[in-house]
Amino acid sequence: MQYIATYNSTLPLWQSWLHRFTARRLFFMLVGALLFLAFAYLYLINATVYNVVQYGRLQNQNAQLTLNVDAMQSTYISQESAISLALAHQDGYQNVASPQFISASAAPIPGAAFAVKYP
Q: What is the pLDDT of residue 87?
A: 85
Q: What is the pLDDT of residue 65?
A: 96
Q: Is residue 8 part of a domain?
A: no
Q: Is residue 100 part of a domain?
A: no
Q: Is residue 112 part of a domain?
A: no
Distances (CA, A) of 105 to 66, 98, 99, 100, 111: 45, 19, 17, 14, 17
Q: Is residue 2 part of a domain?
A: no
Asked if 41 and 49 touch (Cβ cutoff 8 Å), the reply is: no
What gap in Å lies between CA 50 and CA 44, rounded to an integer? 10
Q: Is residue 113 part of a domain?
A: no
**Domain that residue 48 falls in:** 13-90
Counting other chains too, the contacts that 91-99 makes at CB distance below 8 Å and 24 or more residues apart are none
Q: Is residue 116 part of a domain?
A: no
* Predicted confidence pLDDT, tens digits, the chain (119 residues): 555 555 555 666 666 666 667 778 888 999 999 999 999 999 999 999 999 999 999 999 999 999 999 999 999 999 988 888 888 888 888 888 887 777 666 555 555 555 555 55
Q: Is 74 left (phi over 0), alpha (psi -120 to 50) or beta?
A: alpha
Q: Is residue 74 part of a domain?
A: yes
Q: Is residue 46 part of a domain?
A: yes
The single-letter DSSP state of residue 109 is: P
What is the total count of domains within the chain? 1
Asked if 17 and 3 touch (Cβ cutoff 8 Å), the reply is: no
Q: What is the pLDDT of residue 15?
A: 64
